[in-house]
Amino acid sequence: MGLGIIGWIVIGIVAGWLAEKVMGRSHGLITNLIVGVIGALLGGFIASNLLGIDVGGFNIVTLLVAFLGACLLLFLVGLVKRRT
């Protein structure tokens, strides 16, 4: 069973908020949502294509993959910002 739009929003907000706290950033709710959803896509791509982990549904694995993807995204954005 896949996630509906509400599920993606919830996972995105939680993953973005957790990544914000771990990475020492300060964003708003909408930015957390965007970072979380993009992080979920990034993490899901890495997990499924490079690691062979099946990610889907509303569970802790999905949240963990989204969180790790959001942290990676914030890390990469931080690298780009330092160079400019």
Q: What is the pLDDT of residue 1?
A: 52
Listed by start position, the domains of the chain span: 5-83
Confidence of residue 2 (pLDDT cuts 50, 70, 90): low
pLDDT in tens, 27-55: 778 888 888 888 888 888 888 888 887 77
Q: What is the pLDDT of residue 71?
A: 92
pTM for this entry: 0.80
Confidence of residue 3 (pLDDT cuts 50, 70, 90): low
Cβ contact 73:38 at 8 Å: yes
Instruction: Name the residue among 53, 42, 52, 50 with its Cα closest to residue 15.
Output: 42
